[in-house]
Structure 1
Amino acid sequence: MLSRVPGLPPPLEKAAPDSYAYSPFVDTISVVAMPKGFTNPNMPLFDSTIDPFDHISQYKQKMMTVTAVGHVKEACMCKGFGSTLPGPAFRWLVSLPNSSISTFADLVNAFTQQFASSRKPQKHTGDLYRIVQGANETIEEYNTRFNNNKVAVRECDVSTTVEAFRRGLHQESDLYKQLTMHPCYSFEVV
């Protein structure tokens, strides 16, 4: 009767005698012993404001230091991933069906699908035209800000990028005038 009262958590379920063995990973992953000296990667926890692809990329980069090969490496990648997930993300991982993950790729696919709403929109070359030099911003500060945004653009045509940079400059600046009079097609010249 209490389970029908809105706002109350559902009644506690009794754990099955073998529930310690429940794992979202298949046996070929869950029974692998972690290598001696293995430590979980030291990295920011996923808080659902991070793009899941960025989190996966950082995790993979950190896990490159694990000295394991073959199925042991696969098991380390899968088993270690939970240490980067707090709260709701961790609850999602442990609620996956028993033995539903057989590879790290399966885990990545499930994770990115579950947290797809946290993806950041992909930037395009055209977005660089929105970056303009601020009223009191030096050329060096503008250049730094422009470059920080430019690295987020996956496919970046150099001549279009240089043109976007030029258009964002103050029109009274010497650099703007130089780039207008003598167009260049490489940032090495700028």
Structure 2
Amino acid sequence: MYDGIGDPDDHIAEYKQRMLTVALPKKSREATMCKGPSISSFASLSDKFVEKFASSRRLKKTSDGLYEILQNRVEPLRDYIARFNQEKVAVPECSIPTTISAFKRGLLPDGGLYKELTMYPCKTMEDVLS
């Protein structure tokens, strides 16, 4: 049963996989068929299903999302770094300069690390975190 939360494409793929292992007798198949000309094929059903639940589709994360990670005023630097790294891992392709730029932009501007990164630009995240 689809709960409306997960990716609808994943649900269709899982359904197809399960149905490959199930053979229904002819009487059972006829009883579960849609009436009338509403749906002509499984492909049509799949398309309508995915269209209805398109908003539940998982989107690939991009480096743009890293710019939305901001250090809170009362948040320790260690916690901000952990949150940033957790999100960074979910971005499949992100350049080092973009990562560094987003990390720096999320820091509190009156913090020591922000001031240091402004004075001494880094080329790797290892340099940033050292």
Cα 1:126/1:159, change in 2 over 3 Å: same
Deviations 1:79-110 (A, max 9, x none): 279xxxxxxxxxxxx76879958xxxxxxx76
Deviations 1:137-190 (A, max 9, x none): 011111121122223333211111111101111122221122112211222222
Of 95, 107, 113, the residue aligned with 1:175 is 113
State the match for 1:48 in structure 2: 4
Of 109, 126, 129, the residue aligned with 1:188 is 126
Work out the number of aligned pairs and report it. Answer: 112
Q: Structure 1 length as normaliser, TM-score? A: 0.45
Question: C-alpha separation between the residues in 2 aligned to 1:56 and 1:185?
Answer: 44
State the match for 1:156 in structure 2: 94
State the match for 2:18 in structure 1: 79
Of 119, 131, 145, the residue aligned with 2:83 is 145
One-letter code aligned to 1:113: V
Cα 1:122/1:100, change in 2 over 3 Å: closer
Question: C-alpha separation between the residues in 2 aligned to 1:49 and 1:149?
Answer: 21
Deviations 1:20-70 (A, max 9, x none): xxxxxxxxxxxxxxxxxxxxxxxxx8522123456689x7xxxxxxxxxxx
Q: What secondary structure is seen at the aligned counterpart in 1 of 2:125? A: coil
Cα 1:120/1:99, change in 2 over 3 Å: closer
Shift in Å at residue 126 of structure 1? 2.2
One-letter code aligned to 2:123: Y
Question: C-alpha separation between the residues in 1 aligned to 2:126 and 2:50?
Answer: 40
- Does residue 113 (structure 1) correspond to residue 50 (structure 2)? The answer is yes
Cα 1:53/1:173, change in 2 over 3 Å: farther
Same amino acid, percent of matched pairs: 40
- Pairwise CA RMSD of aligned residues? 3.7
Task: Report 1 or 2 for greater relative contact order, CA contacts < 8 Å, sequence distance ≥ 6.
Answer: 2
Question: C-alpha separation between the residues in 2 aligned to 1:182 and 1:50?
Answer: 44
- Does residue 129 (structure 1) correspond to residue 85 (structure 2)? The answer is no
Q: What secondary structure is seen at the aligned counterpart in 2 of 1:188? A: helix
Q: What secondary structure is seen at the aligned counterpart in 2 of 1:50? A: coil
Bigger helix share: 2
